[in-house]
Amino acid sequence: MTPKNRWPWQKYALMALPVGFLAVFYAYPLIGIFQYSFNRAENGVFNTIIAALSSGYTWKVIGFSFYQAALSTLLTLALGLPGAFVLARFQFRGKSLLQALTAIPFVMPTLVVAAAFNALSGPRGWLNLGLMELFSLDQPPLQLENSLAAILLAHIFYNTTIVLRSVGEFWGHLDPRLEQAGRTLGASPSQTFWRITLPLLAPAIAAAALLVFMFNFTSFGVILILGGPGFANLEVEIYNQTNGLFNLPLAAVLALIQLICTLGFSLAYSFLSAGLNRPLAQKPISYTQSRPASWKSKLLVGCLVALMLGFFTLPLVSLAARSVVQLENERGRRGLVEPTFTLRFYEEILASTNRAAAYGSPYRAVLYSGGYALATTALALLLGLPTAWVLAGSPNSTPARLLDTLLLLPLGTSAVTLGLGFILTLNKPPLDLRASPILIPLAHTLVALPFVVRSLTPALRSIRPRMRQAAAILGAAPLQVFRLIDLPLISRAVIAAAAFAFTISLGEFGASALISRPEYPTIPVLIYRFLGQPGALNYGLAMALSTLLMVVCGGAMLAIERLRVGTEREF
């Protein structure tokens, strides 16, 4: 591409923006906290690392991190791949709704997902209440809480969308004539699948699996809340060692191990997704997809869609149902009450009374969350646009690869470690941000940036260089080219990326819980506070806020889906 050799310094200047951001708000606090932790090691850094690595317990934790992540990833693929097939090869009514629905969990705070599963299958969830009523049992028959099964279910719930999106997208553009040629030459459907489709899909599947694995590997809330005290992966153990045991040196060693693993995963991921860019005979979806015609395909599509609908809607619907039904008694009163329909939890949110000043007003939390999300969106776009532009222009250059890998690192960094790093290092003017609300959009941007860049880069890449060249020949300056050619062409992708950043910020919990100012809580932080308080009103408020969050996230995901369809038509 043209920009490659003509003005590399501009490119480096653009890269300085995201790199500088990461250096100040990621690397600096992280190095600070590592240094501090290791300085406190009584026997020196080296012995601390050796001691940690020779402890069977450390290896148990590492082993469990890999074990649960691998198992979760396999199960996610088991649901996601058939789903991706249906989405890739068939057109049917409500498809974008289904796609939006499956994406909602991805941006929901763990706490809410835990609450959703609890509302469905917890001791007093709908399933158990129903079964107890049906068979007149006095104990709930389903015991999912604090089990490996609960962890796995939640991970599938969270991450299936990654497989559906990335594999489904790739599959949808795969030229069906390759398979048809195989069939014409006498291969059976299964032979065609194993010998032609699967090898072609392999890089896409591997990339998706790796990303899912990485998210599961560093999972925090799911393992802490749904898994309960019996389970700990690296991320949870870092939290335990830091807050419960004050063993900062060991926490730092574990954080380093996790960081190294994440670095490995993201390097592999960048490598694999670069492989996806190799020119394959891609076709627009209007060419590859059809309505299910035969009864066989109708049955297949019907079953798979029903399965996904059930799996993704049941917990979300149970959650919404709990926000309008009162099941529990008021604080201090015991036993269950007859389920009654009520809107008082929503009225309570709107009332904006300063109910229990200690826990904050829900109405104001909605406003604060919106503010943080807007700031995150602005910052993430500001940093993401130049980053994506550089990445799109030179996909295979080493600095671009490095930048790509670097962007993913914050996703694999313990929020506890980074949060303490903020307190330790951002303590001097002009960067005395320790207790400032600005920290929240900054932290959210670290999380949202890789997603923003990933939604923008393909769109920028799809712009034919000749259009840029033509503009340049006609006398447009580089910035003008970007403004007049690139930006209008990617405006849909920009809006989709903005929606992504917005929802990620709305739903983020881990970092917010650590650094949010108590008087400016975000919605998830407030949900957490309400869930920790007894009584029907607090629980109902938590459910109502969760439902609101879910609706907003769902709306944003639907918008992204619509906008994505738009860009695909131009394919």
The region that residue 535 occupies, defined by phi over 0 for left and psi between -120 and 50 for alpha, beta otherwise, is left
Is residue 374 a contact point for another protein (CB under 8 A)?
yes
Name which position in 277, 282, 427, 480 contacts another protein (CB under 8 A): 427
Q: Which x/- pattern over 434-453 shows residues binding another protein (rule: CB under 8 A)?
A: xxxxx--x------------
Residue carrying the six token digits 């209007």: 286
Quickly count: other Cβ atoms within 10 Å of residue 509's Cβ: 22
Residues between 142 and 161 with contacts to another protein, criterion CB under 8 A = 146
* Residue whose CB is less far from another protein, 119 or 209: 119
What the block records as the tokens of 53 is 């690595």
- 430: preceding bond cis by omega (within 30 degrees): yes
Q: How far is the CB of 15 from another protein (least distance, A)?
A: 21
Residues between 57 and 76 with contacts to another protein, criterion CB under 8 A = 57, 60
Can you name the residues that pair with 340 across neighbouring β-strands? 326
Is residue 559 a contact point for another protein (CB under 8 A)?
no
Q: Which x/- pattern over 273-302 shows residues binding another protein (rule: CB under 8 A)?
A: ------------------------------
Residues between 317 and 346 with contacts to another protein, criterion CB under 8 A = 330-336
Is residue 34 a contact point for another protein (CB under 8 A)?
no
* Residue whose CB is less far from another protein, 118 or 546: 118
Identify whether the C-beta of residue 426 lies closer than 8 Å to the C-beta of residue 433. yes
Residues between 404 and 423 with contacts to another protein, criterion CB under 8 A = 420, 423
Q: Binding segment for another protein among 155-163, 201-209, 243-251, 291-299 (CB under 8 A)?
A: 243-251
Q: Binding segment for another protein among 19-27, 222-230, 300-308, 467-475 (CB under 8 A)?
A: 222-230
- Decide: helix, strand or coil at residue 90: strand
* Residue whose CB is less far from another protein, 89 or 529: 529
Q: Which x/- pattern over 159-188 shows residues binding another protein (rule: CB under 8 A)?
A: ------------------------------
Is residue 53 a contact point for another protein (CB under 8 A)?
no
* Residue whose CB is less far from another protein, 104 or 327: 327
Residues between 115 and 134 with contacts to another protein, criterion CB under 8 A = 123-124
What is the DSSP secondary-structure string of 501-532?
HHHHHHH--HHHHHH--TTS--HHHHHHHHHT
* Residue whose CB is less far from another protein, 36 or 92: 36
Identify whether the C-beta of residue 381 lies closer than 8 Å to the C-beta of residue 452. yes
Can you name the residues that pair with 223 across neighbouring β-strands? none
Residue carrying the six token digits 């807007």: 374
* Residue whose CB is less far from another protein, 130 or 518: 518
Is residue 484 a contact point for another protein (CB under 8 A)?
yes
Identify whether the C-beta of residue 351 lies closer than 8 Å to the C-beta of residue 156. no
Is residue 35 a contact point for another protein (CB under 8 A)?
no
Quickly count: other Cβ atoms within 10 Å of residue 282's Cβ: 13
Is residue 347 a contact point for another protein (CB under 8 A)?
no
Q: At what angle do helices 362-393 and 398-408 cross, to 10 degrees?
A: 160
Provide the b/e sequence for 444-454 (b: ≥16 CB within 10 Å).
bbbbbbbbbbb
Q: How far is the CB of 306 from another protein (least distance, A)?
A: 33
Q: How far is the CB of 96 from another protein (least distance, A)?
A: 23
Is residue 230 a contact point for another protein (CB under 8 A)?
yes
Enclosing H/E stretch for 337 = strand 336-341
Q: How far apart are CA 477 and CA 120, in angstroms?
A: 58
- Decide: helix, strand or coil at residue 355: coil
What the block records as the tokens of 138 is 């006095």
Q: Binding segment for another protein among 310-318, 404-412, 426-434, 470-478 (CB under 8 A)?
A: 426-434
Is residue 463 a contact point for another protein (CB under 8 A)?
no
- Decide: helix, strand or coil at residue 125: coil
How many binding residues for another protein (CB under 8 A)? 71
Residue carrying the six token digits 């394959």: 280
To the nearest 10°, the Cα dihedral for 78, 80, 86, 91?
Answer: 170
Q: Binding segment for another protein among 14-22, 127-135, 223-231, 283-291 (CB under 8 A)?
A: 223-231
Name which position in 8, 199, 491, 570 contacts another protein (CB under 8 A): 491
Q: How far apart are CA 476 and CA 481, in angstroms?
A: 6
* Residue whose CB is less far from another protein, 101 or 439: 439
* Residue whose CB is less far from another protein, 88 or 433: 433
